[in-house]
Structure formats: structure tokens, C-alpha cells
Structure 1
Amino acid sequence: MDNRNMSDIIESYLKEILEINHEIEIRRSEMATQFDCVPSQINYVINTRFTVPQGYKVESKRGGGGYIRIVKINLVQHGNYLVHLAESIGSELTENDAFAILKQLYLDEIIDFREKEIILTLLRNKPLLSVSDNNTLRAHMMLELLERLTYEEKE
């Protein structure tokens, strides 16, 4: 008798496919039918077992032609540090805190000087003035940047 639970079985199935192809597209409802489970079970597996720190990037499109795409990624050398840094940000980020993070990324040689300056330009208050809550937007932008810096996509 198989002692694995449904989440383990779904995870194993998806990872077997990802061993052959570094990217897959699935439809949640079709997977739920295939495994005779509720669609939220598929969401649970994807949200908990296919994360950036675990070496996967997940994209989704909602709606009638919606899909979930899982891509196998290579974490860069500083991946764990970047994930830890992202976890420390929270829901808002001041301009000064953003500058401090970028300075540290530059000093740690994760980004070069030109990249630092370009990102600083985007995270300054001036381009964000038209946004009512620029600290929240800045935090979101920084989190996206840190996540993207944690991996290299396979070609």
C-alpha cells in the first residue's frame, strides 16, 4: 500500500515531467480530474512545493483559457540570501530603505553599478508620485526584483 498522500503524488507527478521538460503548463481543473481531487488541492501543491527557493517559478493566467506554468529554474549563488532579504521587506518600503538594499546588493556584487543606478531611478519618489501609496508599490517592485535575481532561467 502506498503511504504517500495525494499532495505527494501530485508533486511527484509534476516533478517527473519537469525532469524531462524544464517547463510545463497545466490546467488546474484537468489535474484535479486526473487525480480525483478538488482543484484547491492542486493549488496547495503548487503554492507550497513549487516555490522560487525550491527552484521553480510559477506563472498563472486566470479565466477560460487559463493555465498554470511551472518552470524549473537555477538558483544563483546568492539565492538564499536574496530570499531572506525579500522576507525582511514587508508590505511597505521607504525610499531610504530601498536605497540601502540596493547599495548592499551592489557591495555584495549581486548587481553592478549601472544596474544599481537604473533601479534607483525607478524606485525614487519622483516616478512614484502619481501613485497614492508609493511605499507599497516600491515594496512590491523590490520584492519582484529580489525574486528575479535569485535565479537564472534555462535557455
Structure 2
Amino acid sequence: MRNVSDIIEQYLKNILQQSPNGVVDLQRSELADRFQCVPSQINYVISTRFTLEKGYLVESKRGGGGYIRIQQVELPSKEAIHVHIFSTVGEQIDQATAEGIIYQLAEGCFISTREANLLKAAMSRDVLKLKLPQRDEVRASLLRAMLIALLSK
């Protein structure tokens, strides 16, 4: 059985897909009422599953009548993805950011689910048993090399 966070994430992705311009404005309290949860649960889902690394821009306005705006960011071409990889990965990258990039590429159908799973396995701190910052440097080099190889097909 899926948990509430998974259900909220799927709901938000569905309404984003139905939006003609890929943008939705939401009220935190309305979503909390809809899913019978506390507003902090909505915040958690949005802050962990709708990040820039995963292909989303989130704008939040608090207070009376406040809203959350979620916008899906599209990666237009392989050349743009190469630029995105080099600008995002840099000389070091942590595991969460690496997984976010992998997620975004899989969601955009630039890599398969199988390729994404293999990449995530290789990015794991359980596999890269090095001390920081060396671990993040090795992760960045590996991710960059593997993505360029995959996206050059």
C-alpha cells in the first residue's frame, strides 16, 4: 500500500500534466484538507519530491491567501542536457543531487528506468566508500562520464 506522501506526489504530478502550461498554483491548506493530513506533510512532499534537480521550480508565498506554485522544467535537447550536466555536477556532487539529476533524466525519458537504477546504485555512499570530499569528487566524475556515455547514443 502506498503512503500519503506517494499519493500526494502522484496527485500533484497528474494535475501538472493536465495543466496546459505546466504550472499549477495550489493552496497548502486545501491540499491538506483533501488528503486529511497536516500542512507540514504537504511541505515535506513538495520540498523533497519537487526539487530543481528533479525538474521542478517551486515558489511559495505564506500568509493569508498564500499559495504554492509548482512549475515543471523541461530539458529541451541532448545538447542542453550536456550543458545542464556540466553546470550542475561540477567538481563535486552529493548523493541527493546526483539522484535528482538521474530522476529528472528518467522522467524526461532521456534514460531508461533500468539505466537510472544502475546510475543510482553507482552513486550510493554505500558503494563509494571514501571520505568526504573525495567521495563527492569521485561521484561527480563517475556521474558525468556515465551520463555523457549514455546520452551520446
Whether 1:83 and 2:91 are equivalent positions in the alignment is no
Structure 1 residue runs of 4+, over 2 Å off? 78-88
- 1:56 and 1:86 map into 2 onto residues whose CA distance is 23
Aligned residue number for residue 68 of structure 2: 68
CA contact (8 A) 1:51 1:58 kept: yes
Matched to 2:90, the amino acid is: L
- In structure 2, the residue matched to 1:33 is 33
Match of 1:74, SS state, is: coil
Name the SS for the 2:44 alignment partner: helix
List aligned pairs for 1:65-144, cutoff 5 A.
65-75=65-75, 76-77=80-81, 78-85=83-90
CA contact (8 A) 1:53 1:80 kept: no
Query: Quick check: 1:46 aligned with 2:51?
Result: no
Q: Give TM-score, length-normalised by structure 1.
A: 0.51
Q: Which has the larger radius of gyration?
A: 1
Number of aligned residue pairs: 86
Within the alignment, does 1:19 sit opposite 2:24 as a pair?
A: no
Q: Distance in 2 between matches of 1:84 and 1:13?
A: 30
- Alpha-carbon distance, 1:62 to partner: 1.2
Q: Equivalents in 2 of 1:28, 1:86: separation in Å? A: 37
Q: Distance in 1 between matches of 2:25 and 2:91?
A: 27
Distance 1:86 1:47 in 2: 25
Taking structure 2 as the reference length, what is the TM-score of the superposition? 0.52
